[in-house]
Amino acid sequence: MAEIADTARAFFEACESGQGWAVCQGWCTPDAGFAAQAEPLAEITTLAAYCDWMQWLMGVMPDGRYELSAFATDAARATVVASAQFLGTHTGEGGPCPPTGRSTRSDYVYVMQFDAGGRIRNMTKIWNASWAMRDLGWA
């Protein structure tokens, strides 16, 4: 299952650096699903839309970056889990309000499920969005 770990890492790095679906789609099924129990992402149901949301977010927080804390493969379930912290400061235009200059350090987890061909078919993001929104002055 080293292949899915390599795919997951490449996808994670591209998605988290705001490269959008145009780049990330190479590691995913065309109809890959997305789920999150987080208010800003409640309407997003496809991985394509999430990747593009991350691209938008990196425009709002140009210094955005992540610190990976864990990365694990569950071969029996064809799943890779990545745990990280997102760090960024709201200095860019286009957010929910004018730039606040405030920063966040927000924990999150990606649970990436793979199809038999080794492509991501679904991803769930586990994230306490309200914490990050308060940090940034967006809530």
* pLDDT tens track for 82-125: 999 999 999 999 888 999 999 999 999 999 999 999 999 999 99
User: CB within 8 A of 56, min separation 6: which ones?
Assistant: 94
For residue 117, the domain's CATH number is 3.10.450.50
Parallel, antiparallel, or unpaired: how do β-strands 65-74 and 28-36 relate? unpaired
pLDDT tens by residue, 5-47 = 999 999 999 999 999 999 999 999 999 999 999 999 999 999 9
Tokens 């987890």 belong to: 109
- Judge whether residue 130 has pLDDT over 60: yes
**Eight-state DSSP code of residue 46:** B
User: Residue 27: which domain range?
Assistant: 2-93+100-136
Parallel, antiparallel, or unpaired: how do β-strands 65-74 and 120-127 relate? unpaired
Helices (H) and strands (E) in the chain, counts: 4, 5
Q: What is the mean pLDDT of residues 63-86?
A: 97
pLDDT band at 2 (very low <50, low <70, confident <90, very high): low
How many folded domains does the chain comprise? 1
pLDDT band at 1 (very low <50, low <70, confident <90, very high): low
Using alpha carbons only, give the angle 107, 73, 32 rounded to the nearest 5 degrees. Answer: 75
Distance CA 107, CA 21 (A): 23
Distance CA 130, CA 17 (A): 22
For residue 83, the one-letter residue type is S
